Amino acid sequence: MRDIYQDVTDKIVTALDQGVAPWIKPWSSSGSADIGHQPYPINAITRRPYSGINLPLLWAEARLQGFTQDRWLTFNQAKKAAGHIRKGEHSTLAVLYKPMEREEQTESGQPLLDEHGQPKVAHFGILRTHFLFNIEQTEGLEMLNETLLETEQSDPFQPNSAAENLLLSSGAHIVHRSADEAFYHPIRDLIQLPTKAQFHDEGGYYATALHELTHWTGHHSRLQREGVTSACPFGSPGYAFEELIAEMGAAFLCANTGIQGELRHEGYIDSWLPLLKADKRAIFRASGHARSASEYVLNLEQQLKRAVLDDSLCMNDGA
């Protein structure tokens, strides 16, 4: 029987062995002319974005194969759309997660009840593999193979409003000092960054800031991640795992805000590889934590927008 966890881990490890951080979006673009900005890979037919562990899987394959498109589909989808996969093309592994639930039972087969007398329900999921092809591997589907609008190169240190809004709406205590390090201090609940002038470009600055902001989400008053709330010495498995979460979380937020910045993975690859090779489920857990962290930050921004809108409506009503 196929071991999905091992298959996915092997893919990630292979990419890391080649120096490719698979959670970094491999191109800088603002989407297509027709569908606008799409930060994550999407299905070419349904236009639904892929998520979770599929992000590093698809981004890694795009980097390794040199794809410039972020649209994917199955063999059958290509066929139904009156196209086909080019002969000799190889598919890319993806994972389908199907949530399931069942009522819990006692050893004698009787329903297990909660404190309210209602049947207890166990929630779990089933992982299934499916195989995707990039739209560039197809023929006869030119109408789907839209040209990406390349992001214009800007002068260094042009503020990215989307990223600035994320940092501001988080409410995180961020200080800038002329120093050679960036870090999050859990006890003081503080992010320290070098000054913007110390970075080669704004992409590097925001990638670093969002990396530290991902650490910030793990505070005991927020998502309570063990790598932040517990003492994990430098170089320990716990430290490496939290850095993996922060790197993936920053990559997801960079993609969401249209930032193409160099993340900090080079110094951590040697510590990640043993971790992933020893535990085939580690990359799934890290991806889950990274997704929770990025969604936490994005939700804070939405909450602030709603609060501002509510205040505006109240002021208008009182006028």
| pLDDT tens string 39-75 | 789 999 999 999 888 999 998 898 888 887 889 999 9
Tokens of 46: 């349904």
Q: With 90 as the cut, is the pLDDT of residue 220 above it?
A: yes
Whole-number pLDDT of residue 315? 62
The mean per-residue pLDDT over the stretch 117-145 comes to 86
Residue with more model confidence, 317 or 307:
307
Angstrom CA distances, 285 to 97, 116, 234, 246, 254, stand at 14, 32, 20, 13, 20
Amino acid identity, position 24: I
Give the percent of the chain with pLDDT over 90. Answer: 44
Higher-scoring residue by pLDDT: 37, 243: 243
Question: Among all chains, which residue has been given the structure tokens 């989400």?
Answer: 217
How many CB atoms are located within 10 Å of the residue 167 CB? 21
Return the ∠ at Cα 137 (arms to 30 and 73), rounded to 5°: 70
Token duo for residue 286: 């890290």
Q: What distance in Å separates the CA atoms of residue 217 and residue 225, rounded to the nearest whole number?
A: 8
Give the number of other CB atoms < 10 A from CB of residue 300.
Answer: 18
Q: DSSP alpha helices (H): ranges in 18-131?
A: 54-65, 75-80
pLDDT (tens digit per residue) in 247-282: 999 989 998 998 876 666 566 778 888 999 999 999
* Per-residue pLDDT at 8: 83
Amino acid 197: pLDDT = 85
Question: Which is it for strands 190-194 and 84-85: parallel, antiparallel or unpaired?
Answer: unpaired
Give the pLDDT mean for 167-172: 96
pLDDT at 134 (0 to 100): 95
What's the sign of the alpha-carbon dihedral 189, 195, 199, 205?
positive
pLDDT value, residue 5: 80
Which of these ranges, 105-109, 113-117, 299-303, 307-311, has the smallest mean pLDDT?
A: 307-311
pLDDT score recorded for residue 26 = 63
Q: Enumerate the domain spans of the chain.
A: 1-143, 162-319
Residue with more model confidence, 213 or 203: 213
Residue-wise burial string across 49-58, b where 16 or more C-beta atoms lie within 10 A, e elsewhere: ebeebbbbbb
Tracing tokens 């990223």 back to the chain, one arrives at 163
The top-scoring range by mean pLDDT among 20-29, 51-60, 141-150, 288-297 is 288-297
Predicted TM-score (pTM) of the model is 0.71
Q: At what angle do helices 269-278 and 4-17 cross, to 10 degrees?
A: 160
Report pLDDT for 152. 43
Strands (DSSP E) contained in the chain are 29-32, 42-43, 71-73, 84-85, 92-103, 121-134, 138-139, 148-150, 173-177, 183-185, 190-194
Asked if the model's pLDDT at residue 186 lies above 60, the reply is: yes
